[in-house]
Structure formats: structure tokens, C-alpha cells
């Protein structure tokens, strides 16, 4: 057991998550860093319990062999979630505190939208949590705030540029973009050379440009109808989904209909998650496309002159945050894209640093959002493509509750008591729902990894139900299937899972196989993913057809695909449970996150700004004014 890990004293029934989190005094984060052999020069402290691990830590360890790489996905969830984060944390507590392995948990930073909305936080739960839980679920080290600021700076730059171009001649615009210095000489700023190069202009001083070149350089001529960039904030606010800007008298009637997304839906979040270095992040931020010119050319952040400023706002956010579990095992928290509207995985840089820190025989366990049709698929086809990393094992988290729902059980609705079917034994209902589990196992196995099913046990599950899930998993081709009680018992309840995962990693025999090659058409890639869902075909709206043609003409057809669809079904229809087949997948629109590096089709109607329910989580959240401790976070 590592020097920083510790055993928990568990009680039954399991107390509230925040009460458990507050009952354990975290170790000073320097102790966690010391246990990982991180040189103090390679991290910056953010208080006593958090530190930013600098990218220089990876540079120092580049010659070190990687440890084992494990991704945690799941079956199609109920709206309550099936405990993927809890399983990820519990497994790592088992590996580190009980099986004496070097281990790092890599998790996404939670959005404050769900924290104060309907789902609650994402620190795990019960006796398998990241602590301090309140710091993890709230501001952490400010990364999401940095994303919000940089996203909205770009949004302001777009509308301001349109405003200034509308009222100035080419020459006046050019003179203001390249003003003379005290000696009367004009010069280009460094970022302007990026636009000049894009335009094929090799001249180095403003005075050399012809009137035609001045017009091409200075006038972006953005088509307002083509703008895809929206403002963001990290709060669920349905009334910002559609707004009109520019209504002040100083804006001279230049109104435009737009809207807000939640911050974690920003392309800048996806850039952070998929970047591999500071230089790479600078290039990706500069290449982000915000819309087109009226001539149909893509307009980027660098065209607007803002790519460098965005990188400055994000310069600290690129460093992962080091935290700890209840049992003292290390956690790297970094990036937080949603899986239904983005690619749903924590950062490449956190995984790469972690794999070097644990070294040969150690384990890095990372979570992919929602079911494996969404999170794991994007982990393999997007994240692993850009990282060059290969997982040895993929976990599919299943619950008896969710399998009963897929077998035909009543609707599960957040905030309402569970139907009796979910708290009393019904083996046949569980078995009927295992078709969903089987589909997730076969889809995940297709990537060439060993699949271990983690059955996240609830107190109402019976032995017969749990055995049915284990047997079905093995029959469906899982490497192993293990019942876990980490929510109630911490790492001790996931020791068998840890042993199974180690065996799965040691017995990998195949290379990673992607679902599709990059050099086929956008439509062929979409259809390969749709087929993996069980669709018989794909139907494109006129808008989707138009966008696919545009992205192909602009040279972006070689990017991977990031499907934006419901997490509650393999299909586009959340009411279709189990393993639906023969359906036609409707593609409503197709958009591009060109800087992040993917094309994202919108399947059905997906909202990028959640709303608040009638009784949000914030009703329970308060502070003890005597101790300063947070109450009611879940």
C-alpha cells in the first residue's frame, strides 16, 4: 500500500455523500504528489488540497514506459446514472489502497449546471469519492471560468468586427487595424501574418499592400447567418437558449439572433480535452471556425486576431489538477466536455502524464461519459486517434436497475420514487434487459480491447439477479464480470474488479481497431457509427446535406465524427430501450469543431443549454456558517 493511501471506516446505511466527504480529512496535496514522485518544481499549489501539475512533469518522464490504460464506460443509463464515476474511483481505491498498485484516476471536471440542477455533482459517491468534494464540484482551479472568458471574448470579437466593418471603408478599416507608431510607420502584429499567409500574401509591411490586398486582408465580410459561435455560461438557464443581441442604441440597429450554450459545450473545452501541448493548443484555438464569409470561406479565431489572446486566457487551464480519493489515491481532474453534445472524455494531457507517473505495471483509469455507444466510442475514435494511446481494458458498468428498465420496466424519473419493480426481485426482467448490456459488450470488444463488466450493486439487488447479469455478461463475450460494492465499502468493495482488470490488461492480444478510417466521406463515417447503434440507415435533412457539402468543399472531410445524440437509447429516440434495431437515424444538422478536430452531426433535437427542473439541487445546498463546511451537495 502506498504511503498516502488509507483504509476507510465505513458505516451502514451509507451516509449522504457530502457527509462522508466531510468526515475524512484530506491529506496535504504535496503528500499525494510525493507518493507519485512528482518533483515540486513540476506542480503549483492551489491551497492545501489541490495542485496544478505542469506539462514539464511529462517532459521529465518522457523516457519512462507507460502503465496500463483502462477506460470506464457503461450500459445505456437511467436518468439517475449508473455509477460510472463511483466505479472509476472505487476501482482505483482498490488498486491503490488494497492491491498495492501505482494508480491514477483521470476524471472530467464537473459542470456547475448539473451540480445545481438535476443530476448533482460528479465526484463519485458513497465511500468512493474524490475529495474535497465541494471544491471538486464547484470552482476547482478555475478552468471552466477560463473557458467561459475565452469563449465570450471570441464571441465579442465576432460581433464587434461585423459592427466596425459595416461603417468603415476598406482604407479606414485597414488604417485602424495597422495604426502608425510615433514615427508614423505602420506594421503588422504577429498574428496578422497568419491571415496574410492564409490569403497567399507574402508582403511584410502594410505599405506594400495593393488596394485589392488591403480589402482582402482587412474585410472579413462575415455572413451573420453562418455564425455558429455562441456565448456560454456554466449555469443551466433555459431562457438564454435564444436571445437577440445588439438592442442598445449605440449598436445602431445591428441586432442578431443568437443564444447561450453551457460552458462545457464550448469548442474551447473540446480543444482543452484533445490538445497535446501548449503549442498544439495555440494552433487549435487559432483554427476554430466561427462561421463563413459571404463568399463561403471559413473565418477563424486567428482571422479575427484573437487566437493568441485566447491561449493566454487558457495558459493555466492546460495543466491538470491533482486531487485525491477518500482512500488517499491520486486523481487528475482535467477538462469536462459533455458526452451527448461533445466527446465526453477527460484530457489527453492528464492521461499522458498519469501513464508516465504510474509506469510499467501501474494503472491509469479514465472515465468516458454515459453509455459506451457515446463515451467509449468517442474515446476510441476521437481521443485515442489524437493521443496515439491504446487502452488494454474497457469496463462496462451495469446495474440491475437499468437492466430492468431495458427489459420493459416502468419509466425511471429523476426526483420520483422508484417503482416497486426496481426494488423487488424480478430475474426475468433483468434477463430481458441484458440485450442492452450484450450490445455494449460486443460494440466495445470490436475495438480489440478486453471487456470487463462491473455490476454496480445496490442494496435492493438480489443474488439471483446479480448472478443472472454475470452469466449473461460472460455468455456475451466479456473477459470477466464482477459484482462490486464500492459505494458501500470503498476500495474493499472493488478488489475483485481490480484483480479482473489487471488480468484483462495482462492478456491483451490485439491492436486497437477503429470503427472507421478517416479517409472516407463524412457520410460514410456517420453511417458506420449509425450501424454500430443498430440503425438500418441514415436520413439527412436539407440543412445537414448542405453542411456536409460545405465542410467537404472546405477540406474538413478527413476529420473524425462526434455524434450529438441522446444518452438514453442506442437510437435517437430516448423511449426506445434495450437494443433497438432497424431504425433510421435522422441527422438534423451537421456542425464543425474544426479547432478541436471533429465534425459533429446533431441527431434529433439535442439541447446545448440545459434547463432547471421545478426543484433543483440548489434547494439542498447551503453552508454551515460556524465551520464553513458546505452542506447538501450530492
**Crossing angle of the two packed helices 170-177 and 143-166, in degrees rounded to 10:** 140
3-state helix, strand, coil in the chain (%, to 5): 40, 15, 45
The residues facing 368 across adjacent strands are 345
| Cell (9 digits) for 271 | 480543444
Given this model, what pLDDT does residue 607 score?
83
Q: Which helix (H) or strand (E) holds 394?
A: strand 393-398
Q: What is the mean pLDDT of each run of 10 residues along the chain (634 residues)?
A: 74 90 94 96 97 96 95 95 94 97 96 82 88 92 97 98 95 95 92 97 96 97 97 96 94 93 95 97 98 97 98 98 98 91 92 98 95 95 97 98 96 88 95 98 97 97 98 98 97 98 94 97 98 98 97 97 95 96 96 96 87 89 92 83
Pairwise CA distance, residues 585 & 572, whole Å: 6
How many separate helices (H) and strands (E) can be counted in the chain?
23, 23
* 180 burial via Cβ count (<10 Å: 0-12, 13-18, 19+): exposed
Q: What per-residue confidence (pLDDT) applies to 540?
A: 97
Residues 6+ apart with CB under 8 A from 170: 211, 214, 215, 218, 219
Residue 170 parent element (H or E): helix 170-177
Q: Which of 84, 90, 21, 2 is nearest to 492 (CA)?
A: 90
DSSP single-letter state for residue 43: E
pLDDT attached to residue 367: 95
CA-based max dimension of the chain? 86
pTM summary value = 0.95
User: Virtual CA dihedral for 440, 441, 442, 443, nearest 10 degrees?
Assistant: 40
> Could you say which DSSP state residue 95 is in?
I
**In which element (H, E) is residue 539 found?**
strand 537-540
Alpha-carbon span 82 to 529, nearest angstrom: 24
Number of C-alpha atoms within 13 angstroms, CB side, residue 365?
31
Burial label, 301 (beta-carbon count in 10 A; 0-12, 13-18, 19+): buried
- Confidence (pLDDT) at 3: 65
Contact 292, 299 (CB under 8 A): yes
Helix (H/G/I), strand (E/B), else coil: 597: coil
Question: Do 65 and 59 touch, CB atoms closer than 8 A?
Answer: no
**Pairing mode, if any, of strands 43-45 and 51-53?**
antiparallel
- 35, three cell numbers: 507518493
- In terms of Cβ atoms closer than 10 Å to its own Cβ (0-12, 13-18, 19+), residue 467 is middle
Instruction: Give the H or E element holding residue 429.
Output: helix 427-445
Contact in structure between 98 and 324 (CB atoms under 8 Å): no
Residue (of 69, 80, 76) closest to 438 by Cα position: 76
Q: What's the grid cell of residue 96?
A: 491503490
CA dihedral 288, 292, 298, 304 (to 10 degrees): -60
Q: What is the pLDDT of residue 2?
A: 61
Q: All 3 cell numbers of residue 481?
A: 464480470
Amino acid at each position: 500500500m502506498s504511503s498516502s493511501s488509507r483504509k476507510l471506516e465505513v458505516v451502514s446505511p451509507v451516509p449522504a455523500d457530502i457527509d462522508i466527504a466531510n468526515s475524512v480529512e484530506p491529506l496535504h496535496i504535496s503528500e499525494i504528489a510525493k507518493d507519485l514522485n512528482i518533483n515540486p518544481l513540476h506542480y503549483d499549489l492551489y491551497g492545501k488540497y489541490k495542485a496544478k501539475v505542469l506539462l514539464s512533469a511529462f517532459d521529465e518522464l518522457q523516457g519512462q514506459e507507460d502503465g496500463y490504460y483502462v477506460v470506464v464506460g457503461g450500459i445505456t443509463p437511467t436518468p439517475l446514472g449508473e455509477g460510472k464515476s463511483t466505479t472509476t474511483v472505487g476501482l482505483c481505491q482498490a488498486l491503490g489502497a488494497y492491491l498495492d498498485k501505482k494508480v491514477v484516476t483521470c476524471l472530467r471536471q464537473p459542470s456547475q449546471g448539473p451540480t445545481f440542477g438535476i443530476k448533482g455533482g460528479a465526484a463519485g459517491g458513497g465511500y468512493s469519492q474524490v475529495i474535497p468534494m465541494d471544491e471538486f464540484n464547484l470552482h476547482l482551479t478555475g478552468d471552466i471560468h477560463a473557458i467561459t472568458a475565452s469563449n465570450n471574448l471570441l464571441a465579442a470579437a465576432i460581433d464587434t468586427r461585423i459592427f466596425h466593418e459595416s461603417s468603415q471603408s476598406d482604407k479606414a478599416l485597414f488604417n485602424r487595424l495597422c495604426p502608425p507608431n510615433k514615427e508614423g510607420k505602420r506594421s503588422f502584429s504577429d498574428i496578422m501574418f497568419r491571415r496574410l499567409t492564409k490569403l497567399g500574401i507574402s508582403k511584410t509591411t502594410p505599405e506594400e499592400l495593393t488596394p485589392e490586398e488591403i480589402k482582402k486582408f482587412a474585410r472579413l465580410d462575415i455572413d451573420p447567418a453562418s455564425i455558429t459561435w455562441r456565448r456560454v455560461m456554466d449555469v443551466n438557464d433555459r431562457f438564454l437558449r435564444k436571445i437577440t443581441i445588439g438592442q442598445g442604441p449605440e449598436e445602431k440597429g445591428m441586432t442578431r439572433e443568437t443564444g447561450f450554450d453551457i460552458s462545457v459545450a464550448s469548442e474551447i473545452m473540446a480543444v482543452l480535452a484533445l490538445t497535446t501541448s501548449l503549442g498544439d493548443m495555440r494552433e487549435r484555438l487559432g483554427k476554430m471556425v466561427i462561421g463563413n464569409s459571404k463568399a463561403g470561406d471559413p473565418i477563424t479565431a486567428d482571422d479575427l486576431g484573437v487566437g493568441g489572446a485566447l491561449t493566454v486566457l487558457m495558459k493555466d487551464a492546460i495543466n491538470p489538477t491533482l486531487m485525491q480519493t477518500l482512500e488517499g489515491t491520486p486523481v487528475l481532474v482535467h477538462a469536462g466536455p459533455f458526452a451527448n453534445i461533445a466527446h465526453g472524455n477527460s484530457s489527453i494531457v492528464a492521461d499522458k502524464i498519469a501513464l508516465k507517473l504510474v509506469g510499467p505495471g501501474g494503472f491509469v483509469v479514465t472515465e468516458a461519459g454515459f453509455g459506451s455507444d457515446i463515451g467509449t466510442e468517442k474515446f476510441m475514435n476521437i481521443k485515442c486517434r489524437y493521443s496515439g494511446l491504446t487502452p488494454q481494458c474497457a469496463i462496462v458498468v451495469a446495474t440491475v436497475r437499468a437492466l430492468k428498465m431495458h427489459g420493459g420496466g416502468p419509466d425511471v424519473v429523476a426526483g420520483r420514487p422508484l417503482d416497486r419493480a426496481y426494488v423487488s426481485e424480478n430475474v426475468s426482467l433483468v434477463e430481458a434487459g441484458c440485450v442492452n448490456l450484450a450490445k455494449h459488450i460486443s460494440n466495445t470488444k470490436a475495438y480489440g480491447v478486453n471487456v470487463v463488466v462491473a455490476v454496480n450493486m445496490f442494496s435492493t439487488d438480489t443474488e439471483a439477479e446479480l448472478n443472472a447479469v454475470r452469466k449473461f455478461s460472460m455468455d456475451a463475450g466479456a473477459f470477466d464480470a464482477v459484482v462490486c460494492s464500492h459505494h458501500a465499502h470503498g476500495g474493499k468493495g472493488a478488489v475483485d474488479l481490480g484483480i479482473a482488470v489487471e488480468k484483462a490488461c495482462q492478456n491483451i492480444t490485439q491492436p486497437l481497431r477503429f470503427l472507421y478510417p478517416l479517409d472516407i466521406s463524412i457520410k460514410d463515417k456517420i453511417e458506420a457509427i449509425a450501424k454500430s447503434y443498430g440503425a438500418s440507415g441514415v436520413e439527412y435533412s436539407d440543412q445537414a446535406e448542405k453542411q456536409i457539402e460545405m465542410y467537404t468543399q472546405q477540406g474538413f472531410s478527413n476529420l473524425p465524427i462526434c455524434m450529438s445524440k441522446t444518452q438514453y437509447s442506442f437510437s435517437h429516440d430516448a423511449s426506445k430501450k434495450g437494443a433497438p434495431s432497424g431504425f433510421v437515424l435522422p441527422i438534423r444538422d451537421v456542425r464543425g469543431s474544426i479547432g478541436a478536430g471533429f465534425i459533429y452531426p446533431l441527431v434529433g433535437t439535442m439541447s446545448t443549454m440545459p434547463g432547471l427542473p421545478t426543484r433543483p439541487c440548489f434547494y439542498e445546498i447551503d453552508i454551515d456558517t460556524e465551520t464553513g463546511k458546505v452542506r447538501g451537495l450530492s
